[in-house]
Amino acid sequence: MPERGLYDRGMAVRRAVLGDAHVDRSLARASDFDRDFQEFITKTAWGSIWTRPGLDRRTRSLLTIAMLAALGHDGEFKLHIRATRNTGVTRDEVKEVLLQAAVYAGVPAANHAIALARSVYEEMDGEETGASAS
Amino acid sequence: MPERGLYDRGMAVRRAVLGDAHVDRSLARASDFDRDFQEFITKTAWGSIWTRPGLDRRTRSLLTIAMLAALGHDGEFKLHIRATRNTGVTRDEVKEVLLQAAVYAGVPAANHAIALARSVYEEMDGEETGASAS
Amino acid sequence: MPERGLYDRGMAVRRAVLGDAHVDRSLARASDFDRDFQEFITKTAWGSIWTRPGLDRRTRSLLTIAMLAALGHDGEFKLHIRATRNTGVTRDEVKEVLLQAAVYAGVPAANHAIALARSVYEEMDGEETGASAS
Amino acid sequence: MPERGLYDRGMAVRRAVLGDAHVDRSLARASDFDRDFQEFITKTAWGSIWTRPGLDRRTRSLLTIAMLAALGHDGEFKLHIRATRNTGVTRDEVKEVLLQAAVYAGVPAANHAIALARSVYEEMDGEETGASAS
Amino acid sequence: MPERGLYDRGMAVRRAVLGDAHVDRSLARASDFDRDFQEFITKTAWGSIWTRPGLDRRTRSLLTIAMLAALGHDGEFKLHIRATRNTGVTRDEVKEVLLQAAVYAGVPAANHAIALARSVYEEMDGEETGASAS
Amino acid sequence: MPERGLYDRGMAVRRAVLGDAHVDRSLARASDFDRDFQEFITKTAWGSIWTRPGLDRRTRSLLTIAMLAALGHDGEFKLHIRATRNTGVTRDEVKEVLLQAAVYAGVPAANHAIALARSVYEEMDGEETGASAS
């Protein structure tokens, strides 16, 4: 399979998980400085790993949320909480993942992630209300 | 529910996940120095979290393996690879978890975890062969 | 001792260390999403560990500040700087803890923590001035 | 060489790398709480290490940026991106350092650092435009 | 005070904390590769920080043990457990520090540190028995 | 360019940096469990990043050593110390990288890396002596 295929398959799963709105915004904002990086992520994280059949997308979403909470990568954690809309991970499941993280990564890492996840859910609820009101 | 209940329920799930042989060995080796710690872990990690119904044991096993690989806790990682015998996580699933970890925690963390997991599986295969031969 | 006792004892020491104002605010803001987590922390961190007689509260405060600075958990670090009001740790002691952290956790971790601690102390001084002016 | 020499040499290289404006601002803002810390950093990081002849300043700048991105020290990372103005590290080189960090520290650490670096460069470009316009 | 004084004061406190036997062995084994590093540590960690009067040696020992456990620096952790012989930190206090670390740095980090500390204490007990037997 | 090209280019630079002996051994030992992972690393770390013209191989080697020391990935750190034979990084440069790491990642991380690097160099010296003696 040609490398272009790797990028295209990566872009397809990236859009399916993160949503078209987020990806379109990223592409529109790309500059000379980060264009190579965006392409690298699309091929590697999305094209090479998220496309693999060995685990379903919901499980990859759970694992990613756990690792991002454990390692304290806040921005990417919030992105993947938002993506649960597309991966089918429920709020109750995220709650359980973060309780599990409290044991393995420590209480402060989990406590912080709980607050971040809650704020993302509140944003999402606000957007839906806003959308239905308009 | 009394605290004793917390310990007892924790011990039950700890035995179910890590196996009686491992837990009996831990209890037999406990000293004044680590007895409180063993009790704390049994109540907290096992009694308060692993007993929760919100995620099945197989999913908690996958999440734990991902976080331990990401954070580089080698001893506990190997323990939980060995415990996949009881949690139903397959070798192919562990492989996928560690490929996912390569993206989110970096290649060296995942590469090291792959080597550790492989060595545990080889030990387990050796034990089974030894057991069936005796 | 029943589990309820664990929660109650945890809540008592949590209030003694973090202050009633902070804890009341946390309880008032608790949602379905984080209620289990708040209860878990109260029982575990506070009920099982901070209540132990083996180290006094001032020493636990110093250790907690050191570990939070070393691991970069900013929100919880600020919370525990503010709690020094209740634990009796002085500003000069916090300064020494963070100099010690510069050696063991690296200069950037300590440098960041110094700036965070300073901003918390300035907030606290402002509140006192505001309170006495009103 | 007297200790004063260590401080003075450290201050000289600190000014050469971070710029007089930044250092003057730090000194002016120093309080009783962080004065010892500022002196410790000047002697240690700058006086003992950055002054060593074994690696040129540009290489130390690249290494520092890589480690700060890998460890997630955001404030100090931005400071050292800004300092590339003085160390001669180009934007294309920073891009390469962060692609290298994606492999060794994980995609989220590098992705976050790319966004931070880009925002610093945009600030710097704005300042230059502002300066030339005034 | 001249820099030589910094080294000498550092060496004095390093010997007082880690013991002459350990320091003599380090100096005897020093090579061209690590000589500068040994000197840097002696001046910085020991001469500039451990000599400060703001916290007593026992408290610095407790803080160091907590941070080394939290960050997973095994070799240096064992060194500082052994040094409790000189700093006056008791085994019960180390146990409490590591229970505190379980909350703030996660159960696996603390669990591993408990096992390491126990093995160091067993070595120390063996040496004493051996010494008194000879 | 086809994906096969990515693998082949990656394998070429992997062999140039780590040496044929190491790579041949890795390939010979590959099992079903780690084959996909080896292929992923070859394409990603080596094919996509190490092949980029933006930084020379010597600089990528220095950066990699710095990040591996900072993050405590011991196995991969030793591999890249050994690879300095092929990347042209000198022992004096590694010493400087690790002094720089002492500031940014903390003294224990650097101290441990210094000891690991020294042991690798002693092994390499032993092998050369052994080879010339046989």
Q: Which residues of A touch C68 (CB under 8 A)?
A: 108
Q: What is the pLDDT of residue E133?
A: 55
CB contact under 8 A, C33 and A102: no
Query: Of E36, E45, E76, which has the smallest distance from its Cβ to F95's Cβ?
Result: E36
Query: Of C31, C33, C45, which has the smallest distance from its Cβ to A107's Cβ?
Result: C45
Q: What is the pLDDT of residue C131?
A: 63
Give yes or no for a contact between E49 and E40, defined as CB atoms under 8 angstroms apart. Answer: no
A:C CB pairs within 8 Å: 45
**pTM for the whole structure:** 0.96
- Going by C-alpha positions, the residue among D84, D65, D97 that lies closest to residue D19 is D84
Q: How far is B108 from chain D (nearest CA, A)?
A: 6
Between the CA of residue C115 and those of A121, B8, C121, what are the distances in Å?
31, 46, 10
Q: What is the pLDDT of residue C1?
A: 47
Q: Where does C30-106 have alpha helices with state H?
A: 35-41, 57-71, 74-82, 84-87, 91-105
- For chain A, the first-to-last Cα distance in angstroms comes to 46
Give the pLDDT confidence of A74-118 residue by residue, as tens digits.
999 999 999 999 999 999 999 999 999 999 999 999 999 999 999
Between the CA of residue A1 and those of B96, D120, F8, F42, F48, what are the distances in Å?
21, 39, 14, 16, 16
Distance CA E12, CA E25 (A): 15
Q: What is the pLDDT of residue F2?
A: 54
At a CB cut-off of 8 Å and minimum separation 6, what does A10 contact? A42, A43, A44, A45, A46, A47, A48, A50, A51
Give the pLDDT confidence of F83-133 residue by residue, as tens digits.
999 999 999 999 999 999 999 999 999 999 999 999 999 999 998 877 665
E:F CB pairs within 8 Å: 45
Residue A21 pLDDT class (50, 70, 90 cuts): very high
At a CB cut-off of 8 Å and minimum separation 6, what does C21 contact? none
Q: What is the DSSP letter of C55?
A: S
D5 or A14: which leads in pLDDT: A14
Residue D1 pLDDT class (50, 70, 90 cuts): very low
Give the pLDDT confidence of B99-115 residue by residue, as tens digits.
999 999 999 999 999 99
Q: Which of C74, C84, C94, C107 to mutate to test the interface with D (most CBs of D within 10 A)?
A: C107
Q: What is the pLDDT of residue E1?
A: 47
Going residue by residue through chain E, which has 134 residues, state the pLDDT in tens, using 9 for 90 and above: 456 799 999 999 999 999 999 999 999 999 999 999 999 999 999 999 999 999 999 999 999 999 999 999 999 999 999 999 999 999 999 999 999 999 999 999 999 999 999 999 999 999 887 765 55
Q: What is the pLDDT of residue D52?
A: 97
Query: Of B104, B108, B109, which has the smallest distance from its Cβ to D107's Cβ?
Result: B104
Residue C40 C-alpha from the chain's centroid: 17
Token pair 């010493």 in the structure block, residue: F95
Mean pLDDT within F17-43: 95
Distance CA B109, CA B73 (A): 10
Residue B132 pLDDT class (50, 70, 90 cuts): low
Looking at chain A, which residue has its C-alpha nearest residue D118?
Answer: A33
Mean pLDDT within D103-112: 98
Phi and psi torsions of E78, nearest 5°: -60, -40
Mean pLDDT within B10-24: 97
**Secondary structure of chain D in HEC code, one letter for each residue:** CEHHHHHHHHHHHHHHHHCHHHHHHHHHHCCCCCHHHHHHHHHHHHHHHHCCCCCCHHHHHHHHHHHHHHHCCHHHHHHHHHCHHHHCCCHHHHHHHHHHHHHHHCHHHHHHHHHHHHHHHHHHHHHHHHHHHC
Q: Report the share of chain D in percent with pLDDT over 70.
A: 95
What are chain B's partners, defined as 3 or more CB pairs within 8 angstroms?
A: A, C, D, E, F
Phi and psi torsions of C19, nearest 5°: 95, 145
CB contact under 8 A, E64 and C100: yes
Give the pLDDT confidence of A29-58 residue by residue, as tens digits.
999 999 999 999 999 999 999 999 999 999
Q: How many helices (H) and strands (E) does chain A have?
A: 8, 0
Is the predicted pLDDT of residue F46 greater than 80, yes or no?
Answer: yes
Residue C133 pLDDT class (50, 70, 90 cuts): low
Distance CA B21, CA B125 (A): 17
Q: What is the pLDDT of residue F52?
A: 97
Q: Which of D107, D118, D121, D123 to mutate to test the interface with A (most CBs of A within 10 A)?
A: D107
Q: What is the pLDDT of residue C132?
A: 60
Q: Which residues of E touch C55 (CB under 8 A)?
A: 93, 96-97, 100
Residue D4 pLDDT class (50, 70, 90 cuts): confident
Looking at chain B, which residue has its C-alpha nearest residue A42?
Answer: B103
Give the pLDDT confidence of B53-86 residue by residue, as tens digits.
999 999 999 999 999 999 999 999 999 999 999 9
Mean pLDDT within D46-55: 97
Looking at chain F, which residue has its C-alpha nearest residue C105?
Answer: F106
Q: What is the pLDDT of residue A1?
A: 47
Q: Which of D52, D103, D107 to mutate to test the interface with F (most CBs of F within 10 A)?
A: D103
Q: How far is D26 from chain E (nearest CA, A)?
A: 21
DSSP, collapsed to helix, strand or coil, labels residue F2 as: strand
Distance CA B117, CA F93 (A): 34
